[in-house]
Structures are given as structure tokens and as C-alpha cells.
Amino acid sequence: MTETLPGPVEICRETAPVPYRAALEAMTARNAAIAIGEARELIWLLEHPPVYTAGTSAAAAELLDPRFEVVQAGRGGRYTYHGPGQRIGYVLLDLRRRARDARGFVHALEGWVIATLADFGVESWRSTGRIGIWTQDIDGREAKIGAIGVRIRRWVTMHGFSVNLSPDLAHFGGIVPCGIEEFGVTSLARLGVEVDSATWDRALLNHTDAFLAALDVACPKES
């Protein structure tokens, strides 16, 4: 079931899992339609059945155990896992209407997720040289709680972010997540914070105006 919310940017929430290949096909078509002025911008919130996706920098050696379907995603980045308990945000925006700044777009995406995690009492941050959202895990070490992977075609964005609410973290063991071996992955559930997708979506969407406003200015020089 799809729930569509009103606003200057179309917002769609999926309440049932969407197969990755179907989502990729729909997102690619929507990206092209936005670029020629035939569709509205879109923020699409959903989750996928278990799948490994490969970005344009994925190395074969980082696919350790392909226990799930592996799909070439066409986004930036390396291998990542998507599955139940993980919330995905696909963000299709026309940067010709905003600052034409790819780095600034990624910075704003990260800030959007960081602000939402703070609503649940979870401090998170950017780490220099490592794309994504990081936090302190239960063992005191730094771990990734959210991934970022984007593509920009004709200045229209696609793909976006994923946040680990309560996925089976063992499923990340089939890959080297984002090509970073020395750091693990964590989730809100592992940190003792129980958040379902509807609650996450409400909190995230409360920060949408601030996210969109951040796209109207150039990215700061320091992350």
C-alpha cells in the first residue's frame, strides 16, 4: 500500500516491502520524467526484501557471501545491504531549482538523518573520508547506522539513504559494507531504541523543510 502526503514535493510512504529491481526501475523512470518537467519531485520512503546492491565503486572481493540477490544499482558507493527493518529514503529532486552542488546535496541528506536520529536520543555524526552516518555502538566503538548512496543525472537526484531501525545485522556479513572493513554496523534496536517505520517516517518528515532549505545554499567547506 502506498500513502501519498501533500506538499510542494510529493511524499510517498510504502507500508509493504518493494522489490529492489521494481523500485530501481520506477525511480529511474521518475528521475527522467522530472528532468523533462513531466513529473513532480519525490521523496519515497520504503523498505526492500533482502538484497545486496552494488554501487559504481563496488569491488568483487567485497562480496563475501552472496546469500541474497545482488543487483547493480548504478548509484555511487560500494556494496550495501537492504532488508526488513531498514528504512530507505529515495530522494528525487531537481537541483536546477536549487544550488547545483552535489557535495552539498549529500551533506544535506546526512544532516537530515542526523537530525532525525537526535529526536530518538541517538547522537550521530559525519566522519571525514567515510560517507554515511556514524554513531557509538554498544561496545563503545564507532559503527555505521545509516548509509548514503546517490546518483545525479541532468542535475536530478536519485537513490538516497538507508537507516537501520531493526534489521538482522547478521545479513551485513555477506559483504564488506561500503568497503570499510574496520568498522561495524549497528541499529536503533541494537542501541536499545525501538522505532517502527511509521514513527521514523513522521520524525523524518518533520525535518523536511529544513532539509530542502539546506539545498538552497552551497555546502559548507567543513563537514
pLDDT tens per residue, range 2-39: 777 667 799 999 999 999 999 999 999 999 999 999 99
Residue 223 forms part of a structural domain: no
Looking at the annotation, which residues are catalytic?
Answer: 178
Angstrom CA distances, 223 to 108, 128, 211, stand at 10, 7, 16
Residue 220 forms part of a structural domain: no
CATH of the domain at 95: 3.30.930.10
Range of the domain at 127: 2-214
Is 184 in a helix, a strand, or coil? strand
Question: What predicted TM-score, i.e. pTM, was given to this entire model?
Answer: 0.92
Residue 222 forms part of a structural domain: no
d(CA 199, CA 28): 28
On average, the pLDDT of the chain sits at 92
Between the two ends of the chain, the Cα-to-Cα distance in Å is 38
What's the structural domain count of the chain?
1
